[in-house]
Structure 1
Amino acid sequence: MKHSLAGRVWPNATAAVLALGFLFPVYWMFNTAFKPTRDIITEDPVWFPLHGTLEHFATAVHAPDFWILAGNSVLVTVLAVGLSLVIALCGAFALTRMRFRGRKGILLTFMVAQMAPWEVMVISIYLIVRDADLLNNLLPLTCFYLLMVLPFTLLTLRGYVAAVPKELEESAMVDGCSRRQAFLKVVFPLLAPGLMATSLFGFITAWNEFPLVLVLNKEPAMGTLPLWLSQFQTQFGDDWGATMAAASIFAVPILVLFLFLQRKAVGGLTSGAVKG
């Protein structure tokens, strides 16, 4: 009994310590964003401010080009993630359900692309975009974000498609559905957990991307929020409250999306698909 109790306590204690270590920087970011300036610059840290303020958030929101850059971030992220889901879903279905020459080679190519460090290719990407006269344009940014998230999305969705029994699809085709109708009516609804998980990963990847936009889009109005956030300290000097408020605004969409999707992504993949 004691051995069993100890076996349950130490994993939970370790998880609690790790969670505290990961959550504390996030708490301190939001805490600093709401603190009055006098509580930020004091030598004694104020762990729980008694009087919060929205002054720093107002400073961040009224920064030059904030709304334009926020729109740019939303546009390129949504387009990249949406296109990657469509392409990866079609590719995953073909790689799982069809047998053709070169299938393993295609899978190997996507695995290599997933492992490739994009940072070392920034210079070559810059040269390609420059020669195409597309610098300071959102189109190449969207295309390269799509290429970043596509390998992981395809490989993940391939596993979800493979987990759906072929018999479900064949039964629908026997009942008169075409292959496309069987996929849309039977297979596609069962892929919701995979689609949500991969879209969350893709959103985080594209939303947080910094090196490419730093190199490709030099014009202030053609950047994204990560670039705006990196210049915030220079723009506001030592205004740490405004800097933390800007970081909080940047983090909120990811936190909201994660809280919304993580509950819906849990559950059995084919639970309830076949009823007696």
Structure 2
Amino acid sequence: ADFLVGALGLNVESVSIEQLGFARKITITNKKNTIIADTATKDEIHARIAQIKSELAKIDSSYDKEKLSERITKLSGGATEAELEDRKLKIEDAKSATFAAIEEGIVLGGGAAYVHLSSYVPAIKESIDNPEERLGADILQKVLLAPAKLIANNAGIEGAIVLEKILSSTWEMGYNAMTDTHENLLNTGVMDAAKVARCALQNAASVAGTVLTTKSECQNPKSPMFLGSQAYFRKGMTICKHKDHHYEFSFIIIYVPDKSLT
């Protein structure tokens, strides 16, 4: 394909079939055009990249250098600025996870470690005399099953079946959602840093405890409006009293029941 530019006397009105090129896919939007070249034009693309690199070495303008570098990146299929930022964040996450694993070790990933730990909760509960703490142990046992169940549900698999398989297997076994298999997660590298798993559970318990122990009194509660078989709608204002202070809150809540939890 020829590069149509007015300085060379070429324009769209006078273009011929011989001057056109071809591509595997073209996507045109109001903000940008994306052209995916056919593999048959690979040699021509490399030749164009080499030409632009030659021009890049001859110019001094920082603006022109930036634009030519962007053109080389797009032609060579290189990473865009957004992709580079995403890659940078992934590397930082991997580095942090590695340091956390060095500090406290590793556990099974995919929520399998939590599932196996949940089987030890009943024995711990037997040593607790406080009825409220025993209730908290029951809640914790259910919470430990939630991550693995959610991962399975998101993968289109019945979470209850996955949980049953994990609980009936040895400690190193779990569910790999990427391959849809029940396997030895240590051998396949599906692992989490123990520190990350511990902190996630501790932080969740801390937030739940804060909500439960907040001494506030809400007045004028309003019943939700029924929107149909799937949702409830509630809108209004609530006055809450905390210690010697009163607060007014305006709110809109849409509640969709999760039948899988009933």
TM-score norm. by structure 2 comes to 0.24
Higher helix share: 1
Higher relative contact order (CA 8 A, sep 6+): 1
Higher strand share: 2
TM-score norm. by structure 1 comes to 0.23
Larger Rg: 2
